[in-house]
Amino acid sequence: MPDCAPPLATITPPGQALPAGACDTHFHVFGPAHVFPYAEGRPYTPPDAPFSQARHLHRQLGFTRGVIVHPGCHGYELAPTLDALEQGQGQYRAVALLPPDVATARIAELDRLGVRGVRYNFVAHLANGGWDELAAMAPRIAPFGWHLCVHSDQASLPGLLPRLAALGVPFVIDHMGRVAAGQGVASEAFQALLALQGHPGAWVKISGLDRVSSLATRPFGDGEALVSALLDAMPDQLLWGTDWPHPNVAGDMPDDGELLNTFLRLCPDDGMRRRILVDNPHTLYRFAP
């Protein structure tokens, strides 16, 4: 039985049209379990959230591109993600979970299919692999132009950032590092995130507003200061994502339309919006023209 709540059935409509080629750089595909069973020993069991639902959401919001972040509940079995890439007909990319002994030929095959990075969790209840495994994978993915996708939290982020910056491989910090919005922009962890400004190959996702918020109810307004600080400091290094279908949410289920409208309000400049929603994803995930 699922132990996660499903996403909202009805969302707030977007307040403005998105630029052509806009990309949701962080969402998941779950199941359907009767076709793609969930892994044994998984950290959570979600309700099914197939690619057809994700694509419907993207059409509602105005996204024509997306990046599937392969979830821990499917383990190293990439079939649901690869099936979604095939259905996406070139307009979707993916980030995978890979075993440490993955063959180089398999990495090459996945690159051809649209995978562009490997994800590592440093959040305690989701941890996969570890630093040694990540560091060993970095030189193996470098020839393919892939990046490391890092899911950290308040405790792990400050220690991870110097080591990531020294690897020489692009890296993405998910959900604004999951730093605590309640501690404010001046917190040590968030200042460490801002210190990535200008670092070649360092990217930060404006996603998971509910995950950084100290509030359990929408619209998670205390996280807006973090978003604004990132927009001011490093728009050329930012990506935006829904985090749909929002697994393991403790409070209110986020409203994806509301999340998008919050971003559009905090980022009123059309040029900056296009950079974050279109140009930056195009650079990192290498979408075809």
Which of 161, 172, 140 lies closest to 284, judged by CA? 172
CA dihedral of 10, 34, 23, 239, whole degrees rounded to 10: 100
Q: Are 186 and 152 in contact (CB under 8 A)?
A: no
Spot the catalytic one: 153, 174, 243, 256. 243
- Map residue 92 onto helix, strand or coil: strand
Q: In angstroms, rounded to a whole number, what is the distance separating the alpha carbons of residues 90 and 112?
A: 11
Strand order of the β-sheet with 147-151 is 23-27, 65-69, 92-96, 115-121, 147-151, 171-173, 202-206, 238-240
Give the residue ranges of DSSP H helices in the chain. 51-61, 79-88, 104-113, 131-141, 157-165, 188-194, 209-212, 224-233, 256-266, 270-274, 280-285
Which of 97, 125, 127 lies closest to 110, judged by CA? 97
The question of whether 243 is a catalytic residue gets the answer yes
Q: Quote the DSSP letter at residue 49.
A: B
In order of 92, 168, 242, the CA distances from 261 in angstroms are: 23, 35, 11
- Map residue 58 onto helix, strand or coil: helix
Residues 6+ apart with CB under 8 A from 180: 154, 187, 189, 212, 214
Which positions are annotated as active-site residues?
Answer: 243
